[in-house]
Structure 1
Amino acid sequence: MSNIIIGTAGHIDHGKTALIKALNGYEGDSTKEEQQRGITIDLSFSNLSKGQQNIAFIDVPGHEKLIKNMIAGAFGFNCVMFAISAQEGIMPQTVEHIEIINLLGIKDVVIVITKKDLVSQDELEKQEKRIEEFFSEYDFDINFIQAVSVFEPDSIETLKDKLFSIKNKAKKEENFFRYYVDRVFSPKGIGTVVTGTVLGKPCELNEKVFLCQSEKQIKIKNIQVHNENAIEANISNRAALNLQGINANSIQKGDLLSKKGFLRGFDMIDISFNTLKQKELKHNQKYTLFIGSKKLEVRVLLFDSTTSLKEGFATIKADEKLYTIFGEKIILRLGNDTIAGGKVLNPIADPMKKNQKRELLEALKEENFTYAYKKLLEAHKKGLGLISSSQRFALSHEEAIEFANNLENVYIDKEELTIYPIETKQVIIDFIKEIYTKNKYALLSPASINLRIKWASESFIEDALTHLVDEGFLVKNNKLYKSKDIEEDYEDKLKNIVLERLKKEHITPTAPYNIYDDLDLDRKLGDNILKFLTSKKLVIRLQHNLFIHSESLDSIVRQMKSIIQEDGFIEISNFKERHPLSRKYLITYLDYLDNFSNIKKDGNKRVLT
């Protein structure tokens, strides 16, 4: 089924809610307060279907004090239906709604002139002309202008036909599921239910989703689209989700559902902005930020002014984490005044100098991602992760790599999705040279070096190792690298080195990985050496990370038996008096005694049988 979301907009009492009721029979002013006051206070949602076509309506408030609720709905619109009274024409809230819709970048509009039965045909035509002239100042795509009266069924039917003729310019599918919660409730016996508009990719029944604000993974137990059960909800669908594993009190309007691992939250984001006519954005001023259905107080820091600007770049600072993506639209208000609209350019807080950041934002504004990579790499010399490209650039990983391929003097690890400045390779080369210069018997792999320089991927390390082989500094031996100055096969020598190390450490041997790191041995090779020494009974394995020289073990066992003969038993206390070891060693050696037939355990003590 094709689906389009049409939001209403317009001045209070210009007939938006009555128009929706005439189109589909839905009474939008459903709360007692709304009915008493005769105005729409909150968002209301309904739909109109014809064959395989569906129109979802979001009816928004027109009262100036309720503009915040109108903005929350507008983020989900595909098309806007402006309701303008034939009697009054363009009014203050009509203008503000038009300006907000324009700031949000919504292009598709429908103009419905309501209450046509209250004016003459001549006045209706004049009003239509005035409305057309006013809208011509904005960059909207007007589908049609239609005059109606809720008391003239033919005019409503004509409007229905025209609405179903609108071609939905489908929103660009993002790389992951996003869904701003605009309502949350808990029907008896159902559990937690939220409503919102699906952004990005679809969500499916029984799928796990991630509530960003509480960093909690929850399950979708049921989906309803247009009041019918569904197995999935697609982009631009109005959907109710029954969530399992979370209490309704733990979710608020404006919270964001997504998929785990795609979004990181930051208390600072960078935007570009434009203000409304006769308005300016002031530096270091507090404003109300609207994004999706979320509303919060933030501080705005201008990039190029310490006073005010009509357009430019700014940093938004919040007291909570913002989970945004590149290209998201925002609205900034001060009290009851809409001041500016903006676009998220940098949703990820990067440690950058101000001049670097400005160049980055200029590139992002033009969607010059190749240059944006270049600027980011100046700040991320130890690698820029493309794993966050969905959030940072609204690009898939494949698209991100494609842009990265246009860069010069970089190393791209396509498996790990990381770009490195090519000069960073010299840091790895110097690090490896230092190891092999200090220890000519070092025998390492990319994996073992990665344990020491964790910021470098194994692929990038291998590229550096290959450079050292080509340079004649190292020789590759299977998957390991050794010094070119050692020609003989020295695995036997390494076995002796490890064995001597364990003999020297006596009854307090260090963990194998510490030995490998000290000797500059690849961990897999080190494990193989210990396995060999263990198979020859030269070394005894007491625990998964505790190996002891066999002679040292024999020595401590003799001394433990001697304690039993002297005291009649051995336990931790009298063992520690003779050998002040850590509990790790004391307990391990006591447990080893249980292998002898002439020793038995009596509570916490060991005695001779």
Structure 2
Amino acid sequence: MSNFIIGTCGHIDHGKTALVKALNGFEGDTTKEEQQRGITIDLSFSNLKKAQQNIAIIDVPGHEKLVKNMIAGAFSFDCVMIVVSAAEGIKPQTVEHLEILNSLGVKNAVLVITKKDLLNEKELDINTSLIQEFISKYDFDLKFVHAVSIFDDSSIEILKEKLFELDADTKIEENFFRYYIDRVFSAKGAGTIVTGTVLGKPIKLNEKIFICDLKKEIKIKNIQVHGDNAIEANISNRTAINLSGIDSKTIKRGFLISKKGYLRGFNTVDISFKTLKDKYLYHDRQYSIYIGSRKIDAKILLFNSEESLDKGFATIKSNEEIFSIYNEKLIIRDGNFTVAGGIILNPVSDPMKKSQKFKLLRALEKKEIFEAYGILINAHKKGLGLISSAQRFALSHIEALCYAKKLENCFVDEKELIIYPISTKEIIRDNIKNIYTKNKYALLSNTSIKLRLTWASEGFIYLVLNELIEEEFLVKDGNLFKSADITEDFKSSLEQIVLKRLEEEGTSPTAPYNIYDDLDLDRKVGDEILKLLCVKKQVVRLQHNLFIHSTSLSNIVLEMKNIIKEDGYIDISNFKEKYQLSRKYLVTYLDYLDNFSQIKKVNNRRVFLNKTL
């Protein structure tokens, strides 16, 4: 049998916490307030073990004002234990819990009738039938119904056996690890510890993980699964993680831990929703949104109405970043009332027209991934990253590539994992042709064109370059491309062009890369030209990124010596009075003076060793 998580639900005082204690001896109400008030306030976590089997148990509060805490635990249920008092039957919080669980997509359920000792056998049968009939209205797969009393050990033992016979593991392996924090605390000698449920993929000791909300990568010091040290925590394991190098005060319930590079946060996400009976969502109204163990206050913007709807599409707009994935469930509440359940369809904020977005959401709701890709590619003319498919569509890189390769009229760069509409090729072609038409001495590589067209992959650029060679517009010279109209070797001409450019710029020479870009010159070729000019002593390199024409340098050195002759010294202040250069140039030229034997540096001033030159 698989390990799984079972969670309680039900009205306050129907015996949820007492039932858990009868099953495994765990006292869930441990805080002073819980003991004083006699109610469960927050989530409690325990487990049942039998040989190699393990059932994690999440006990939730039943009070109407504590539903937010119930939701924080319910998202991770594999199975729900619906707890109903035999004497009281279905009550308001039973109903709200059932509606929330239905909205979260929890299917597996067991019905436990508590306090059976308060009724005779006939009354118990009648009430059990009524309770079961009510629950049948919901979309649960009811595995069994069992009546218990915490004073009847036999009924508890039978319930245990029934639970161990269940095969209720519902979570499937996804593309990456996710983990919503539901508790955080600091332990003496250990440091910061968080607890939560492992989702997506297992996690191992010493692995690096990423706290999305803090944008911080950290290392796992230790893992515990139900109190025992472990080297790995599997999907659906209730897991405590000891984090290295982070203060517990910076972490909150609801923070999401994952692996770096898989999830981006956005202030808007798009959903489909369905309200509870007789309730509506109102356009541009503030609601509380529950995703995993996180609560976010956000506005709901309806797609098809500026008033209210009971189902449809909407955008959640928040001041906080939302880290979510495709098909993730959520709950929408207004104050103390649950209003609707929702499903995240578009977890990535896309710049697109409302009509495009509406088509996209309809496709995503129907899980029509091919159509969704087509709509997105049309909106992303300059490339759609396949790496985002893990978040967008819950697809692995391999699955995303399979979809991409089957799309028509697209270019797929498998190395950089980007899809382009084939029509985008004309944008690249026009840009390249424009460069070589304006400048007959342009000499660029694939890489240097990529620096100009940052959105275009090198693979796509190379495809266009080869087509331009076939059309005899360009010719290839090693890894460089030049105009087909020029047959002579013009590298010596480029040398003179660069030299003249530096001469014209005088004492404020442009950084080399800017010169290369202005001259449509490949950076590697440009570096070679500057090296050659330095060897010939026509250009002098003063700093990593500062090259000056030798004549300009001689002139500025002469002027600096004249300042010393006139003022007795030169420093930043009197140098700047005569030459309105930036500090970068002033400091560099002053430092260059230190190469002359007749110049001495005294504090921040340069003076002559002797009074005469």
Map of 2:606 onto structure 1: 605
Inter-CA distance 24–445: structure 2 relative to 1 (3 Å threshold): same
| Paired residue secondary structure (1:290) | strand
Q: Using the alignment, how far apart are the partners of 1:84 and 1:562 within structure 2? A: 98
Q: For residues 30 and 101 of structure 2, what CA distance do their matches in structure 1 show? A: 25
Q: Matched residue of 1:286: which SS?
A: strand
Q: Per-residue deviation at 1:563?
A: 5.3
Give the aligned partner of residue 401 of structure 1.
Answer: 401
- Tell me, which stretches of 5 or more residues in structure 1 are unaligned? none
Could you list the per-position Cα deviations for residues 308-355 of structure 1 after superposition, in whole angstroms to 9, with x for gaps in the alignment? 222211112223222221111111122332221110111122222221
3-state SS of paired residue (1:106) = coil
1:2·1:52 contact (CA, 8 Å) conserved in 2? no
CA deviation vs aligned residue, 1:361-418 (integer Å, no higher than 9, x gap): 0111111122112112232222222222222222222222222222222222222222
In the TM superposition, what are the counterparts of 1:319-398 in structure 2 within 5 Å? 319-398=319-398
Range that drifts further, 347-356 or 597-606: 597-606
Name 1:279's counterpart in structure 2.
279
**Hey, what's the Cα distance between the residues in 1 that align with 2:211 and 2:587?**
46
1:578–1:354: structure 2 CA closer, same or farther, 3 Å change rule? closer
Deviations 1:156-211 (A, max 9, x none): 22211221121133412232222222122234444332222122223333433333
* Mapping 1:226-265, distance limit 5 Å: 226-265=226-265
1:107-127 residue CA offsets vs partner (Å, 9 max, x unmatched):
111112222333333333333
1:58-77 aligned at under 5 Å gives the runs 58-77=58-77
TM-superposed deviation, 1:569:
4.8
In the alignment, structure 1 residue 172 sits paired with structure 2 residue 169: no
Aligned position for 2:455 = 455
The answer to whether the 8 Å contact 2:3/2:169 transfers is no
Q: Deviations over 1:205-229 (max 9, x none)?
A: 3433333333333333332210122
Distance 1:467 1:16, change over 3 A: same
CA distance in structure 2 between the partners assigned to 1:299 and 1:589 by the alignment: 58
- The aligned counterpart of 1:438 is 438
Residue identity in the other structure for 2:477: N
Question: Which deviations, in whole Å up to 9, do the C-alpha atoms of 1:105-147 show, x marking residues without a partner?
Answer: 1111111222233333333333343333333333322222222
Residue of structure 2 in register with 1:186 after alignment: 186
State how far apart, in whole Å, the 1-side matches of 2:282 and 2:580 are: 69
Write the letter of the residue equivalent to 1:3.
Answer: N
| SS at 1:388 equivalent | helix
Q: Using a 3 Å threshold, how does the CA distance of structure 1 residues 600 and 29 change in structure 2: closer, same or farther?
A: closer
> Which amino acid in structure 2 is aligned with residue 390 of structure 1?
A
Decide whether the 8 Å contact of 1:436 with 1:442 is kept in 2. Answer: yes
Give, as a single letter, the amino acid of the residue that structure 2 aligns with 1:605: R
Residue 524 of structure 1 and its aligned partner are, at CA, apart by: 0.7
Moved more, 182-191 or 509-518: 182-191
What RMSD, in angstroms, separates the aligned Cα atoms of the two structures?
A: 2.3
Q: Show the 5 A alignment for 1:454-533.
A: 454-533=454-533
- After superposition, the C-alpha distances for 1:219-266 in whole angstroms (9 at most, x for unaligned) are 333322101222332221112223333333322222222233322222
Q: Secondary structure at the match of 1:172?
A: coil
Task: Tell me, yes or no, if the aligned pair for 2:474 and 2:483 is still in contact at 8 Å.
Answer: yes
Counterpart AA for 1:178:
R
CA distance in 1, matches of 2:12, 2:390: 40
Question: Percent identity, aligned pairs only?
Answer: 65
Cα 1:536/1:51, change in 2 over 3 Å: same
- Residues 1:140 and 2:166 aligned together: no
Q: Deviations over 1:40-69 (max 9, x none)?
A: 221111111111111110011122222222
Corresponding position of 2:546 = 546
* TM superposition score normalised by structure 2: 0.93
| SS in structure 2 at match of 1:412 | strand
Change (3 A) 1:572 1:52: same
Partner in structure 1 of residue 130 of structure 2: 130
Q: Deviations over 1:74-94 (max 9, x none)?
A: 011111111222333333322
Secondary structure of the equivalent of 1:449?
helix
Moved more, 370-379 or 436-445: 370-379
Bigger Cα displacement from structure 2, 450-459 vs 103-112: 450-459
CA distance in 2, matches of 1:584, 1:285: 54
Matches within 5 A, 1:91-102: 91-102=91-102
When structure 1 is superposed on structure 2, of 415-424 and 122-131 the one drifting more is: 122-131
1:298: which partner in 2?
A: 298
C-alpha distance 32-501 of structure 1, shift in aligned 2 (>3 A): closer
Native 8 Å contact 1:269 1:315 kept in 2: yes
User: Deviation at 1:567?
Assistant: 5.8
Task: Check whether the contact 2:296–2:320 (CA below 8 A) recurs between aligned residues.
Answer: no
Task: State the SS of the aligned residue for 2:144.
Answer: strand
Partner of 2:34: 34
SS in structure 2 at match of 1:213:
helix
Q: Which moved more, 1:473-482 or 1:276-285?
A: 276-285
Matched position secondary structure for 2:3:
strand
Q: 1:444 deviation in Å?
A: 0.7
For residues 572 and 125 of structure 2, the distance between their equivalents in structure 1, rounded to whole angstroms, comes to 101
For residue 4 of structure 2, what is the aligned residue in structure 1? 4
Are the structure 2 counterparts of residues 127 and 520 from structure 1 closer, same or farther at C-alpha, using a change threshold of 3 Å? same
Shift of 1:555: 4.2
* d(CA) in 1 for partners of 2:32, 2:229: 29
The answer to whether residue 17 in structure 2 is matched with residue 17 in structure 1 is yes
Number of equivalences: 609
Structure 2 residues not aligned, in runs of 5+: none
Once residues 436 and 399 of structure 1 are traced to their aligned partners in structure 2, the CA distance between those partners, rounded to angstroms, is 40
The amino acid of 2:69's aligned partner reads N
Q: Distance in 2 between matches of 1:476 and 1:223?
A: 57
* Alpha-carbon distance change, 112 to 472 in structure 1, aligned in 2, over 3 angstroms: same
| Equivalent pair of 1:564/1:608 in contact (CA under 8 Å) | no
